[in-house]
């Protein structure tokens, strides 16, 4: 099982970026997937989740309407489209799989995690 994030980089305030998470070694469309971020020197902050079989989505309030989580089951890739970026979005972004095949998030935890990709929002 492996998760590999990509797409991070330097972007100006107000700009956009799309992160990708390439998944391998498991039945991708059967699992809930998640994005978690970590600002420099700070703690973990959940960003968004997408449910395996329904593609229902959840977002934290501060990114709702700006970020879009999606998945391409043919390519086994998880995405996070980020718009209207601000300095507060600067962080390492991790993708993480739910621990078990699609069930309600309340019954799972995150395992495994990718290595993360750094997003820096600065002029």
Considering the rule CB under 8 A, would residue 49 count as an interface residue with other proteins?
Answer: yes
Query: Least distance in Å: CB of 51 to other proteins?
Result: 11
SS3 107: helix
Q: Is 40 in the site for other proteins (CB under 8 A)?
A: no
Q: Which is nearer to other proteins, 51 or 85 (CB)?
A: 51
26 near other proteins (CB under 8 A):
no
Helix (H, G, I), strand (E, B) or coil at 40: coil
How far is C-alpha 73 from the geometric centre of its chain's CA atoms? Answer: 15
Instruction: State phi, psi for 20 to the nearest 5 degrees.
Output: -125, 150
The CA distance from 17 to 102, in Å, is: 28
- How many Cα neighbours within 13 Å face the side chain of 88? 6
Q: Which region, judged by CB under 8 A, interacts with other proteins, from 13-21, 22-30, 57-65, 79-87?
A: 57-65
Residues at the interface with other proteins (CB under 8 A)? 34, 36, 43-46, 49, 58, 60-61, 94, 99, 105-107, 109-116
């Amino acid at each position: 099982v492996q998760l590999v994030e990509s797409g991070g980089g330097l972007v100006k305030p107000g700009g956009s970026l799309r992160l990708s998470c390439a998944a391998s070694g498991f039945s991708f469309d059967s699992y809930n997937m998640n994005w978690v971020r970590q600002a420099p020197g700070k703690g973990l902050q959940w960003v968004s989740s997408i449910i395996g079989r329904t593609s229902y989505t959840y977002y934290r309030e501060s990114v709702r309407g700006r970020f879009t989580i999606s998945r391409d089951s043919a390519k086994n890739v998880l995405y996070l489209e980020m718009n209207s970026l601000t300095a507060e979005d600067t962080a390492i972004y991790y993708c993480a799989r739910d621990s078990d095949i699609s069930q309600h998030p309340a019954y799972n935890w995150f395992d495994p995690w990718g290595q993360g990709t750094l997003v820096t929002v600065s002029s």
